[in-house]
Amino acid sequence: MNNEAKKTKISERRKFFTLLAQNAGLGVMGGLLWSGYANKAKASVPTLRPPAALPEDDFLKVCIKCGLCSEACFNRPQNRDKETGKQRPATIKMAKAEDRATIGTPFFVPTDVPCYMCDDIPCVPVCPTEALDITKVTNKNGVLDPKMMDMGLAVVDQNSCIAFWGIQCDACYRACPLMDEAIKLKYDKNERTGKHAFLKPIVYKDACTGCGMCEKACVTEKPAIFVLPRELALGKPGDHYVKGWDKKDQMRIKNREDKDLTTHDKRSNKKPVDYLNQGLEGF
């Protein structure tokens, strides 16, 4: 092998190892970027899913990110602007890398476009995997019922809601598609002025669908009423607390296991005089 051939072979080897190192570096970088995205998605703000979505963990396993629900939402007839005739932005969006949701999955942001609770709920029947479970929005007569939607629950921040300050505002109440069902106004006397009344918006969890119309309509700089996934918006009393007057709540605990709730503590066996004499044992 002459010198020129040796030089060519050495040069080719160098190129091979250089490309190998570059590809390995790109692979590591891609892994780091994806890991960063995954961590961001886990730490992101709560995600609101389309109507009739399965619980989040199950939803992510079943959803194939096809986008049919978003397409149906965009193309629904009532989404057309009456003045221009053009389609308005869809409520349901498919998450991109910059969004605070698992990439490729459907979600919505009420302050952008809330859910308008379409009578035919077009986004649900088109789901090919039942990640959007049509039975959740079908009533006993076999008819799709928007009132059965469950996307989340509206929560009122009483510290920043101006209605709780005494300023008359009923924007969320009037925007609610289930007025006097999901949101009602509670009249209270304004003790500070002695002349005016509070009109406080109260959300009723059994009627609220989480559509976000109230959040979109809120007049404060950052909405004082906002929608959260129901599991985050509500507490959990546990099986050892029950409404004795509510048959539905009694059904909630029908499968509970009896537990000993007695506080077992050495102090509980002491008499009051033992506490008075505590620390005097050496006298």
Q: Which residue has the higher pLDDT, 145 or 238?
A: 145
- Read off the pLDDT of residues 37-72 as tens digits, 9 standing for 90 and up: 555 444 456 899 999 999 999 999 999 999 999 999
**What is the torsion angle, in degrees rounded to the nearest 10, for the CA atoms of residue 201, residue 203, residue 204 and residue 206?**
150
Sorted by sequence, the CB contacts under 8 Å of residue 197 that are 6+ apart come out as: 187, 188, 189, 190
- Read off the pLDDT of residues 208-224 as tens digits, 9 standing for 90 and up: 999 999 999 999 999 99
Q: Which helix (H) or strand (E) holds 108?
A: none
Where residue 243 falls among pLDDT bands split at 50, 70, 90?
confident
Rounded to whole angstroms, the Cα distance separating 51 from 68 reads 14
Per DSSP (E only), the strands in 89-216 are 93-94, 106-107, 153-156, 183-189, 197-203
Q: Which two tokens stand for residue 182?
A: 């999901």
Q: Which residue has the higher pLDDT, 8 or 118?
A: 118
Q: In angstroms, how far is CA 215 from the centroid of its own chain?
A: 13
- Answer yes or no: are the C-beta atoms of 106 and 50 closer than 8 Å: yes
Please give the span between the terminal C-alpha atoms of the chain, in angstroms, as a whole number.
Answer: 104
pTM over 0.95: no
- Read off the pLDDT of residues 129-153 as tens digits, 9 standing for 90 and up: 999 999 999 999 999 999 999 999 9
pLDDT at 109: 96
Span 272-281, mean pLDDT?
Answer: 66
CA-based radius of gyration for the chain: 29
- Read off the pLDDT of residues 70-107 as tens digits, 9 standing for 90 and up: 999 999 988 888 888 888 999 999 999 888 889 999 99
